[in-house]
Amino acid sequence: MSITTVGIVGAGQMGNGIAHVFALAGYDVLLNDISAEALEKSVAVISKNLDRQVSKDKISAAEKDAAMARIKTTQTLEDLGKTDLVIEAATEREDVKNAIFAQLLPHLQDHTILTSNTSSISITRLASRTDRPEKFMGFHFMNPVPIMQLVELIRGIATDEPTYKLLLEVVERLGKTAASAEDFPAFIVNRILMPMINEAVYTLYEGVGSVKSIDESMKLGANHPMGPLELADFIGLDTCLAIMNVLHDGLADTKYRPCPLLTKYVEAGWLGRKTQRGFYDYRGDVPVPTR
């Protein structure tokens, strides 16, 4: 089997990035979202990001035009049933993901592979609720997708070897590098990254350092490109909290307990860049620490 058509569920930040790299690699992409506005915005973002690559001589104008021509959109989820590979990139809530797969199942081709871009939820559990657990995998892209080189490939307990090998080939065609992870809470990247971010929030919560001093310390003292609180705002504090809860619930270890301050920010609706406030306030010309 070869994959030529790819359906992507969710036209948010991850969905449009995934559509971008697949179209550029020569795949026909069908991008789905319940919101027509989200789809329109997503296509505009992809075009803008491809223009940036053209301006930096990473791709040609003809390659950009060809990639854009490969992207189609739909508000009808069932339309994705005719694709060879489906990538679910909806919100990080298991009930939402299960509902999406349940709606898709009656319309899928026999050979269609199902994947989730989840950053933490059990692949085995998601797969068990479908009719094809052997053709189900975690396909976790990093944000921003066009720039980040890593893709985590997560096999559920039932995933078969042909499915795994086929997705390895897809990652290679995208020009990215695959890291194979076992199906344990948060996989590899977030198993390591999120506790670091959570510890940075605890450092702030306990008054050890300010937002500025914590971020500067990690940038200048550990050579990180972004400070952990700045990175949390970029990821989304609600996503960070959700992953910490998955770790805490799944591994039953107190070291994964979400910091109460992280919970408080999420309860306030201060989710980071996407809401203009998080550990920084982004409403002015320059981000200002909120603590």
Question: Which residues are the active-site residues?
Answer: 119, 140, 152, 190
Q: What is the largest CA-CA distance in the chain?
A: 56
**CA 81, 86, 90, 94 torsion-angle sign:** positive
DSSP 272: B
Q: What is the DSSP string of 23-59?
A: HHTT-EEEEE-S-HHHHHHHHHHHHHHHHHHHHTTSS
Of 77, 59, 80, 79, the residue nearest 68 (C-alpha): 59
- The token duo for 111 is 């050979």
CA distance 206 to 49: 40
Q: Is the peptide bond before 195 cis (omega within 30 degrees of 0)?
A: no
- The token duo for 142 is 């990093």
**Angle at CA 188, nearest 5°, toward 29 and 33?**
25
What is the separation of C-alpha 59 from the centre of its chain, rounded to a whole number of angstroms? 24
3 state DSSP class of 259: coil
Residues in the chain, total: 291
CA distance 249 to 169: 34
Quickly tell me which residue has 């694709």 as its tokens: 83
Q: What is the DSSP string of 61-87?
A: HHHHHHHHHTEEEES-GGGGGGSSEEE
